[in-house]
Amino acid sequence: MPKQLKPFIEGLAVGCVFISITMLFEIPLYISFIIGALAALGGYRNSIKMDREKAAKKEQNQPNTSKQDVE
């Protein structure tokens, strides 16, 4: 899966889940769509944040070839 497409798919999945959950409570459909859109936006932003944190953690765990290693 392309790296740019992953956050969109995760955000869409979160939005769909929230829409289906809110529809169980029999609230108006337009409110369910608003909640789903906000959840999709949050899922998108969270996916990007988690990818950045994962990359930073991977960088941090990589062994460095600093002066201490050379000596």
The DSSP 8-state label assigned to residue 62 in this structure reads: S
Assess contact for 7 and 44: CB atoms under 8 A. yes
Residue 67 pLDDT exceeds 70? no
Query: What are the pLDDT digits (tens) for 7-16?
Result: 999 999 999 9
DSSP state of 63: P
Which run of H or of E encompasses 53?
helix 29-61
- Comparing 70 with 18, which gets the higher pLDDT? 18
pLDDT at 52 over 80: yes
% of residues, the chain, pLDDT over 90: 56
Record the pTM. 0.74
